[in-house]
Copies of this chain bind each other. A is one copy, B any other.
Amino acid sequence: MTCSPMLNPPKNLHVCLSPALIPQYNVEDYIVVIVDIFRATSSICYGIDNGAEAIIPVAEVEECIAYRNIGLNYLLAAERNGEVVAGFDFGNSPFSYTREKVGGKTVVLTTTNGTQALHLSRSAKRIVIGSFLNLTALSKWLKIQNESILLVCAGWKNNFNLEDTIFAGAVIEQIKGSSFKLDDPAIAANDLYQLAKDDLPGYLAKTSHSERLKKLGIEKDIAFCLNVDITSSIPVLVGEKLVRLS
């Protein structure tokens, strides 16, 4: 009698389109990828790739200040309405996360949407950070984990946005196949990515968020966040800190 090899049952490849929808998922069943393209997760990927020792995402400027008050030598990044908050080291622009600025340092970063998504995903098997900057590195790693994957879009004010969804679709494009089962949001994200992939900046220029960010005068940041595969690190949450996955 021959033994046929046990086949792995397909894992789930799901997309959560807004933090408000996280309660619809059993987060503990998944590796969660947090996505906040404009600009938190792009800046985090860039900073970790540029040698930041750790990045600590917090929701409020006050929490950021609390880190300074306890006397730690952390860089503090906080921005309101496109301006660096007085007394802080820098804002949320990815251009602040260069090797010169963050190499060997710990950065405390305020980000409302991203922090909320992260907080609500705490019970996941693992939490990693995605952006176009590390798209392929992240996708390759996800593909070999043999776990169900939930891409959590941080969105905008607790609702759906296009840029995070399109990125989720880009990850799905790289890893989909017989070993993954897609839910409806994943199918939609992947289909939207097909429409956007040949001209990401052009496609995303029509979004409401992009309009908002233009008003803040940060078009250069937006363009930078759409650079594909310029980094190879995967930030992973360990305790309260995002560090480089080794």
Bitwise interface map of A from 199 to 215 toward B, beta carbon under 8 Å scored 1, else 0: 00000001111000000
What number of copies of this chain does the assembly contain? 2
Decide if A187 touches B162 in the complex (CB within 8 Å): yes
**Size of chain A's interface in residues, with CB distance under 8 A?**
27
Across the two chains, which residue of chain B brings its CB closest to A18?
Answer: B21
Decide if A24 touches B157 in the complex (CB within 8 Å): yes
Q: Is A120 interfacial (CB 8 A cutoff)?
A: no
Decide if B24 touches A21 in the complex (CB within 8 Å): no
A18 partner residues in chain B, CB cutoff 8 A: 17, 21
Q: Is A179 interfacial (CB 8 A cutoff)?
A: no
Q: Is A185 interfacial (CB 8 A cutoff)?
A: yes
Given the interface contacts A21-B21, A188-B192, does A183 sit within 8 Å of B158 by beta carbon?
Answer: no
Interface residues of A (CB under 8 A from B): 17-18, 20-21, 23-24, 156-162, 165, 183-185, 187-188, 191-192, 194-195, 206-209
